[in-house]
Structure 1
Amino acid sequence: MGQKVFDSGRNGFYRDTVRDFDIVFKDKQTFMGSSHYHPYFEICCVKNGQCRIFVEHKLFVVRKGEIVILPPSILHRNQYEQKSPAERINLSFTREFIEPVLNCIMPDFLEKVMVLGKSGFCGSERERFFGLLDLLLRERQKGDFYGEMKVYGLLLGLFSMIGENFLNAKNGENGENAESSENFWKEEPLDPAAAGVQEAAKFIFENYADRITLEKAAEVAGMCPTYFSRKFSEVTGYGFKEYLTNVRLKHSQEMLVSGTLTVTQIAFACGFGDANYFGDAFRKHTGCSPREFRKKWKK
């Protein structure tokens, strides 16, 4: 089942390669990914090294043995470090693929557990979790007669570990992975400068329709504009204007798909002061005009 998806790294609108389920191992990744979002769930699992994922307006530093859960339609960008190349496994699946199985066991699992956040596994739990991921990778490559049954079984094993970790953290229980689980689905503790940048990003994300200047965002972060501009890029991977435009464009795409407003009305509703500028920015970002995007999605 192909999924229609927008991804700025693949020239806008395309037919996604993830059908129902996919798992990919990415070795020694050091380049910074493009900002994007997709219509399926994704679990980013770091096997070695570390990476930073800036999700909407939250920063997650993901270290060895940790995972980040990304629900559908969440704007995010990955950053990697030259000194500590990240080895990670990306697990993706659609709601339509997994719900028939989950509905027989725990119908509300996706809503209660598969929400934005970070968790981690230590010791034998880490070995078990990544062992299941390795088995999934092998089953994906084999594709034998019983492959789909095995995939569902392994996925349920992974979900049970994630759910147990969530329950332990929620109940404040101690255990082998207690240190990691206390941060489960919580924001990353940040130094003062990064915390200020995150606060400014949250302000932008929640007030994207207003006129937001660099000076105003810097004031929210408690910094001078020049220092804020540099720190914002270091922490998030975005330039200030780039991030503001990405947030506005994401909301405009959602309005084009689900609403009835005209393109000009959407431009102003998303904070673009000029409809022509909105059209140019949209085309540069997606490879098509807002009207073409709306027509393609409807088809």
Structure 2
Amino acid sequence: MDPNQDLKITRIKRDPYFSMKDAHLHNFYEMYYLLSGTRRFFVNDTLYNVSKGELILIEEGALHRTTYISGGSHERICITFSKSFLQPLFQEFGEEAVLKCFSQPYVRIPQSRREYFEDLISKAHREMMYQDTYSLYLASSHVYELILFILRLNSISKQDDITPYDASPDDQIMEKAAKYICSNYQSPVTLEETAAYCNMSTTYFSKKFKAVTGFGFKEYLISIRIREASRLLLHTKLPITEIALLSGFNDSNYFGDVFKRMKGISPCKYRKNKEIV
């Protein structure tokens, strides 16, 4: 997302077997609505299988990756926006209340309201393509209505009780492993330790974790550590050496190298420019 752009909407149809090359996180919010096909999402430490008419909400700083479930193509609309874009809603309803809708990544749009929801998304997308004096204002108003609809939906239905899919035993174990890593990233957690926690051999666990989440073990662990470091860099004034330790890196030089490789910028420059992802 362009740092100078508060709102962006894209509609793309992907070929079969498309997967994100790399997992990532960003300092803006994302609404991912699936118009056709199926996708698998891994958000922070939880798996979601997503079908037509279902929505994934990505909060600021959430680590995520999407991959295929089957060989069919899929079409999606993705809406991304900055925190400043949400200010009119914050002023009216309060920041905590508005951001609450992003605390539950998976939302199933009721069949009876799907036409309305997709019409709103299409209107917003068309306005962003049209680009005249009024288009950004109209597109923004449609996106605000989408967010308010989700907030209302959450208030009248128990989205927490909706199971995105019947997770297999292996999927459940891999989620358990991801949660274990997220809880222990500050310590020198190892592949062998995590495999033992899941009662699996190291080789089998390594292959299964990659197949289910799309991450290698080390890749996921480092991504979680960089996610935490990014948060601390932007929201605290702690020294970078201390941030490295708090994020699970014992060597601040190694931390700097890994951070720059993953973010394309040094920790110091990242802290100075909050718009860089």
Pick the TM interval, shorter chain.
Answer: 0.7 to 0.9
- Of 13, 17, 30, 1:42 maps to 30
Q: Which runs of 5+ in 2 are unaligned?
A: none
Asked if the contact 1:59/1:236 (under 8 Å) is kept, the reply is: yes
Asked if the contact 1:268/1:275 (under 8 Å) is kept, the reply is: yes
Which range moves more in the overlay, 59-68 or 36-45? 36-45
Which range moves more in the overlay, 43-52 or 89-98? 89-98
Residue identity matched to 1:244: L
Counterpart in 2 of 1:177?
none
Secondary structure of 1:45's aligned partner: strand
Q: Distance in 1 between matches of 2:252 and 2:100?
A: 40
- Of 172, 186, 197, 2:174 maps to 197
Whether 1:139 and 2:127 are equivalent positions in the alignment is yes
Whether 1:161 and 2:138 are equivalent positions in the alignment is no
Counterpart in 2 of 1:228?
205
Counterpart in 2 of 1:111?
99
Q: For residue 182 of structure 1, report the CA deviation from its aligned partner.
A: 6.6
Q: For residue 101 of structure 1, report the CA deviation from its aligned partner.
A: 4.5
Matches within 5 A, 1:68-79: 68-79=56-67
Whether 1:151 and 2:128 are equivalent positions in the alignment is no
Q: Distance in 2 between matches of 1:188 and 1:110?
A: 27
Q: Distance in 2 between matches of 1:137 and 1:99?
A: 21
The Cα offsets for residues 82-140 of structure 1, whole Å up to 9 and x where unpaired, read as 61222110012223223315633x33541332323211124342222112111111111
Q: For residue 34 of structure 1, report the CA deviation from its aligned partner.
A: 1.9
Counterpart in 2 of 1:240?
217
Residue identity matched to 2:51: R
Counterpart in 1 of 2:19?
31
- Of 243, 248, 252, 1:271 maps to 248
Residue identity matched to 1:99: Q
| TM-score normalised per structure 1 | 0.81
Alpha-carbon spacing, 1:18–1:232, altered in 2? closer, same or farther (3 Å)? farther
Q: For residue 73 of structure 1, report the CA deviation from its aligned partner.
A: 1.4
Q: For residue 260 of structure 1, report the CA deviation from its aligned partner.
A: 4.0
Whether 1:65 and 2:53 are equivalent positions in the alignment is yes
Whether 1:284 and 2:261 are equivalent positions in the alignment is yes
The Cα offsets for residues 174-222 of structure 1, whole Å up to 9 and x where unpaired, read as xxxxxxx5755x6754211111111111111121010111111112223
Which range moves more in the overlay, 76-85 or 190-199? 76-85
Asked if the contact 2:61/2:231 (under 8 Å) is kept, the reply is: no
Q: Which runs of 5+ in 1 are unaligned?
A: 1-14, 171-180
Matches within 5 A, 1:85-124: 85-101=73-89, 103-104=91-92, 106-107=93-94, 109-124=97-112
Asked if the contact 1:196/1:222 (under 8 Å) is kept, the reply is: no
Asked if the contact 1:229/1:240 (under 8 Å) is kept, the reply is: yes
Secondary structure of 2:80's aligned partner: strand
> What is the root-mean-square deviation in Å for CA atoms of aligned residues?
2.6
Q: For residue 17 of structure 1, report the CA deviation from its aligned partner.
A: 5.0
- Of 234, 239, 251, 1:257 maps to 234
The Cα offsets for residues 35-66 of structure 1, whole Å up to 9 and x where unpaired, read as 22222221110110111111111111111110
Q: Distance in 2 between matches of 1:138 and 1:187?
A: 30
Aligned length: 273
Q: Distance in 1 between matches of 2:210 and 2:8?
A: 31
Alpha-carbon spacing, 1:261–1:123, altered in 2? closer, same or farther (3 Å)? closer
Counterpart in 2 of 1:208?
185
| TM-score normalised per structure 2 | 0.86
Secondary structure of 2:157's aligned partner: helix
Asked if the contact 1:50/1:81 (under 8 Å) is kept, the reply is: yes
Q: Distance in 1 between matches of 2:148 and 2:275?
A: 38
